[in-house]
Structure 1
Amino acid sequence: MTDTTHKAARPSPVAPPAPVPAKAPRGARRWRGLTPWLFLLAPLALLLVFTYAPIVNMVAYSFTDWDGVSPELHYTGVGNYVEIFTREDLFQVFFVSGYYLAASVVQIAAALYFATILGFNVRFRNFFKGVLFFPYLINGVAIGFVFLYFFQDGGTLDSVLGLFGVHTDHAWLGTPTSANTSLAGVSVWRYLGLNFVLFLGAIQSIPSELYEAAELDGANRWQQFRHIIAPGIKPVLTLTVILSISGSLSAFEIPYIMTGGATGTETFVIQTVKLAFQFNKTGLASAAAVVLLLIILAVTWVQRRLVPDERVDLV
């Protein structure tokens, strides 16, 4: 009979503790904390020098009668702001912005329509995308000169209308109503491509599975737009509304090139430029610029309060 020996079970070896990394020197930790700020130093310096410092100077000049040339200036309090809101010739530029505001509504609606159509698989959609976005790539000064000849008496518009038997002696830029309507229409043509691209990018970012599920459920294009596209592009739609309102208040290039502010087409920015460089009223022009800035900030704040940002979850 063989004797069996039982060996005591040996305990498993215990792994040695992981070495604790040596603590970095205080100087190295300090530099490590300063590194992000060193990368931000140059852009912050440029932002302060070329953005916030001029804004502070503009606000300071708005309380003076500085002419932009003389080294002497006198404090006038809120006199410049009172003059802006009490002089009829200065206050009427707000009504001119109404034409561009109405045009921005047409622009957003048209851009959303074309983006929705071209967001689906249609023939020649890449061609139409280029056609719609191309005007935004053209320089604003060139657009102003092109449409200046387009709207002149006997110009392109009159020639095209004549082909259809419509003959008119109407001066398209001769009266305030027709001139502002024409200029606002040019703005729609130019900036339609920007809003179109924003809407198209938002629509294409929506998962395609949602469209497939909607089609299986029998949803038509309108129902897909209402329940999928509209909620999915809400943040972008909010952005375009803000940009359109601020753009309608600060229209400059097209009306300045085409009319120079004549025939009742003077916008807020054109008026500000004339006050500063034509009439040497830099203090009053600074006050007008501050008023424009405050209006844009107020409109943006109200719009954000009425339509706050919400997380969109379509799944």
Structure 2
Amino acid sequence: MEGNRSRRKFSFSSLPYKKQKIVISLVFLFVPMLLLLTFTYLPATTMFKYALTDWDGISKTYNYVGLKNFNTIFADPKKYFEPMRVSIYYFIASFVQIALAVILAYLISFKTKFSNIFKGVYFFPSLINSVAISFIFIFFFQPNGTFDSILKLLGLEGAIRFWLRDPKIINISLASVSVWRYVGQNIVMFSAAMQSISPDILEAAEVDGANEFQKLIHIIIPGISKIMGLLLFLSISGSLQAFETPYIMTGGGNGSMTYVIQVVNIAFQNHRVGLASALALILLFICIILALIRKLIFGRKEA
């Protein structure tokens, strides 16, 4: 009898409850962790290795050159960091995007009937492929295109410009495309966060004589500060990584060259993958620093 008991098959249900939770968690985390390692950490490690070489992206062999690529970059920072200036337009646009999203989410959540329909309409652009959006706005901004026709209809012929050729306004045009695409996604997230605010607090504010602006500033915005901080960080880091829209619409020409477009051109046009990897690593470190700053600021507020 004792021998039969010792040979009894293992049963998951026989494990203690805490161990069952651990096993289930590990099973469900296995695939996401595998994908994360395969498509994030492994490429980042490989990129770091390439940053220490002179690989051209074609040959099977490459030479280790140590920190030579980084020395090249910091020896002429104006040349390699000049495209960062373009990110300022996307950086400013991210604040416009957040502000519009907060206002529209507030109006939709508390002041509008059929709010779910409006959320769907606003959210739809974020579902469209970047390539499709870029081609849509190429025709939208072209001379005598849709935007020019609208301005003519409004009697604003004098405001017509070469929206994708004039270096003074090209980045404003491209940044506005990003705002149009992502503002709906932010609206949905802000609206969901606003639903967690108790209606009793808003009703009490109305009884005390608070107007809509005061409720927005003193109740709504503090109540969604966590999600606002997260979306602001994503928008700022996204402004540094702008690529698809300017690359497809202008190819980085007429003063619209972004940092990532420069990295791609150096890697695949100039065949200097090692140097491009070093530039990409610098961008990665900048994003990590921004994440730490966000954690420091909002961590203190939460504490």
| Structure-1-length-normalised TM-score | 0.84
1:305 paired residue number? 296
For 1:164, which of 154, 168, 175 is the aligned residue?
154
Is 1:278 aligned to residue 269 of structure 2? Answer: yes
Percent identity between the two aligned chains: 47
Residue ranges of structure 1 left out of the alignment (5+ in a row): 1-21
For 1:73, which of 46, 62, 65 is the aligned residue?
62
CA shift digits 1:262-310 (9 cap, x unpaired): 1111111111111111211111111111111111111121122123265
CA shift digits 1:83-141 (9 cap, x unpaired): 33315332111001001001111111111111111121324534432332221121111
Larger Rg: 1
1:61 paired residue number? 50
CA shift digits 1:163-206 (9 cap, x unpaired): 22333563111122211110001111111111111111111111
Is 1:125 aligned to residue 115 of structure 2? Answer: yes
1:103 paired residue number? 93
Instruction: Report the CA distance shift for 1:124/1:39 in structure 2 as closer, same or farther (over 3 A).
Output: closer
Which amino acid letter does the alignment assign opposite residue 113 of structure 1? I
Identify, as 1 or 2, the structure richer in helix: 2
Instruction: Report the CA distance shift for 1:39/1:126 in structure 2 as closer, same or farther (over 3 A).
Output: closer
Is 1:48 aligned to residue 37 of structure 2? Answer: yes
CA distance in 2, matches of 1:275, 1:192: 32
1:139 paired residue number? 129
| Structure-2-length-normalised TM-score | 0.87
1:13 paired residue number? none
Which amino acid letter does the alignment assign opposite residue 308 of structure 1? G
Is 1:288 aligned to residue 279 of structure 2? Answer: yes
CA distance in 2, matches of 1:196, 1:218: 27
Is 1:193 aligned to residue 184 of structure 2? Answer: yes
2:23 paired residue number? 35
Which amino acid letter does the alignment assign opposite residue 79 of structure 1? K
CA distance in 2, matches of 1:264, 1:207: 48
CA distance in 2, matches of 1:126, 1:197: 9
CA-based RMSD of the aligned residues comes to: 2.6
Which amino acid letter does the alignment assign opposite residue 269 of structure 1? V
Task: Please state how far the C-alpha of 1:39 moved relative to its aligned partner.
Answer: 4.7
Instruction: Report the CA distance shift for 1:84/1:176 in structure 2 as closer, same or farther (over 3 A).
Output: farther
Which amino acid letter does the alignment assign opposite residue 197 of structure 2? I
Is 1:230 aligned to residue 221 of structure 2? Answer: yes
The SS at the match of 1:261 is coil
Instruction: Report the CA distance shift for 1:49/1:128 in structure 2 as closer, same or farther (over 3 A).
Output: closer
Task: Please state how far the C-alpha of 1:54 moved relative to its aligned partner.
Answer: 1.2
Residue ranges of structure 2 left out of the alignment (5+ in a row): none
